Amino acid sequence: MQKRVRAIIKKEERCLFIHRVVEDREYWVFPGGGVEEGDASLESALIRECEEELGVQVKVGEFFTKTYFEMDGEQQEQYIFFCEIVSGEIGTGQGPEFQADSGYEGNFEVEWLHFREIKTRNILPEEVKEIIIKKYIHNFLL
């Protein structure tokens, strides 16, 4: 089973997402990606992924949740952590998402979404979106 890691990065009343448009699908995901063989831990994989995708170094904080899903016929296990940006500049990532010949399809944009927007966007995984709305954003939306 492939392991993946994701970062919930909050700043004031916003969260950081990767906005994807692939063919006719539009969705937002938390930054992160697959755990690679050379990664010493889930946390080190998440630090590497944030550097690649976002161009920032993060401090990995509290574990949030674990989810399961299927991608390309393979079971995936996804670990989500709260993270804090400690240095770097968002938008300077050099990962495969930014390489013309990497095989990535569609658009890949880093976006801050205000808490109010989270409820109306196609945020994946859906169960994580619902937890965030109930636990962290519900009071803000009232």
pLDDT of residue 103: 61
Beta-bridge mates of residue 36? none
- Mean pLDDT per 10-residue interval, the chain, length 142 residues: 94 92 91 95 97 96 92 89 96 72 72 91 92 72 46
44 HSE (CA, 13 A, CB side)? 6
pLDDT of residue 19: 93
CATH fold of the domain at 2-141: Nucleoside Triphosphate Pyrophosphohydrolase (3.90.79)
pLDDT of residue 91: 85
pLDDT of residue 142: 42
The answer to whether residues 43 and 36 touch, using CB atoms and an 8 Å cutoff, is no
DSSP calls for 8-27: EEEETTEEEEEEEEETTEEE
pLDDT of residue 43: 98
| Contacts for 92 with CB less than 8 Å, ≥ 6 apart | 54, 55, 56
The answer to whether residues 32 and 46 touch, using CB atoms and an 8 Å cutoff, is yes
